[in-house]
Structure 1
Amino acid sequence: PAIQEIVKEVTAKYPAEDLITRRDVVSGEISQHLTTRLAKYDLIVNDINIVNFKFSEAFNQSIEAKQVAQQQALKAENDLRRIEIEAKQKIAQAQAEAESLRLKKQEVTPELVQLKQIEVQEKALEKWNGVLPSVTGGATPFVDIQSLTK
């Protein structure tokens, strides 16, 4: 009876999860109490081994549910961190693109635009086989004839 009493007394101090994870501490405390209690009967306690704790099925399920909930919470936190990092990356990329466009805009002058138009027209003339298209798709002619005649 002394053994049962001490085991119940010591295990009642710990939450069920701690009984499993801190088994060595629990067994040390049980051993200490038993040694003290049984010494008056000239009994010596050499060692205490806790082989297994048995809990009710409902309690086991609640422990498992708690572990699952903790894992899901950790996953949600990690997902949130990942989303925040991805958002920061997108913002940084957008800022870099905006800065790039701003710098390019500073370089654009009316003369540069005119030069690019001339280059495009020259390429078109190089590819042109001398035959005018029979159908056009818009209001802009294939070759700006007015600019060539000036």
Structure 2
Amino acid sequence: MRYQNPQNWQAVVAGIIAAAVLLLSLSSFIIITPGQAGVMSILGKAREGVLLEGIHIKPPLISTIDIYDLTVQKFEVPAQSSTKDLQELSASFAINFRLDPTQVVNIRRTQGTLQNIVSKIIAPQTQESFKIAAAERTVEEAITQRDILKRDFDEALSSRLDKYGIIILDTSVVDLTFSAEFSKAVEEKQIAEQRAQRGVYIAQEAEQQAQAEINIAQGKAEAQRLLAETLKAQGGSLVLMKEAIEAWKLGGGQVPKVLVINGDSNSGVPFLFNLGNLEETPSL
């Protein structure tokens, strides 16, 4: 039977010990990258003090490091509520937030993972904040005053999440819907308003047309009054004769059937007779 050299055994043991020491040395350090924060737990208990970016020493084998992302996180959260006039209102909010670095240890102790933060804190608080904002106005006001609704929601949500170490950076209303009954009522109201506006337009158009006819009638009456005054005045017969000559010209310059003769200079109306009657009179 052959025996191994004791020196070989010593070399193997020394190698194992060196490897173990190397592994322990490597596991005694943790690197936190920018945008992250770490929480050290020893034997399952979270220690005070947040591990920020850089290299940190940790006890090997008995410690663990939980890493939290401090960059901006975005989640879309649905919410439902009843308005002041008891109408159902549904919304979907896109929420941008990040974790407060100084509160990461408390977050680790109370909430654990980021998924727990969203499902157990942000989602229910979003629902409650939306109820607060929607209950202060009617569904029509919620639609027409959407910016005010969002402002009230932001204030309620920020105040509720601040104590959990969650900083709200921005929110946006992705979708805002209401019941089918209210949608139908809105549509009917819009149709009625359009009809009313059309009726107002027709009434205004009729009024303008009537006023135009009144203006035309007044213009004609004024023209006739002025013409009558002109004919009554001295030289009015000349005006009438001028009108007769103009009519003669418009007729092509032919001898008219009706001849105007100023027989009596004192008469306001000239003597008129039809030349056609002369042609029909038998000769003597």
TM-score past 0.5 threshold:
yes
Matched, 1:124 2:247: no
Q: CA deviation digits over 1:50-94, x for unaligned, max 9?
A: 111121111101011111212222222222222212211111111
Match of 2:135 among 3, 7, 12: 12
Shift of the alpha carbon at 1:107? 3.6
Gaps of 5+ in 2: 1-123, 249-253, 259-273, 280-284
Amino acid aligned to 1:69? A
Match of 2:200 among 54, 59, 77: 77
Q: How does 1:33-72 map to 2 (within 5 A)?
A: 33-72=156-195
1:29 equivalent in structure 2: 152
Matched, 1:143 2:277: yes
Partner SS state of residue 49, structure 1: strand
Q: Distance in 1 between matches of 2:135 and 2:278?
A: 95
Match of 1:102 among 202, 218, 225: 225
Q: Distance in 2 between matches of 1:62 and 1:79?
A: 26
| Same amino acid, percent of matched pairs | 30
TM-score when normalising by structure 1: 0.69
Shift of the alpha carbon at 1:111? 5.3
1:148 equivalent in structure 2: none
Name the one with the larger helix percent.
1
Q: Distance in 1 between matches of 2:188 and 2:159?
A: 39
CA RMSD of aligned residues (A): 3.0
Deviation larger for 95-104 or 14-23: 14-23
Gaps of 5+ in 1: 126-139, 146-150
Shift of the alpha carbon at 1:141? 8.0
Name the one with the larger strand percent.
2
Shift of the alpha carbon at 1:29? 1.4
Of the two, which has the highest radius of gyration?
2
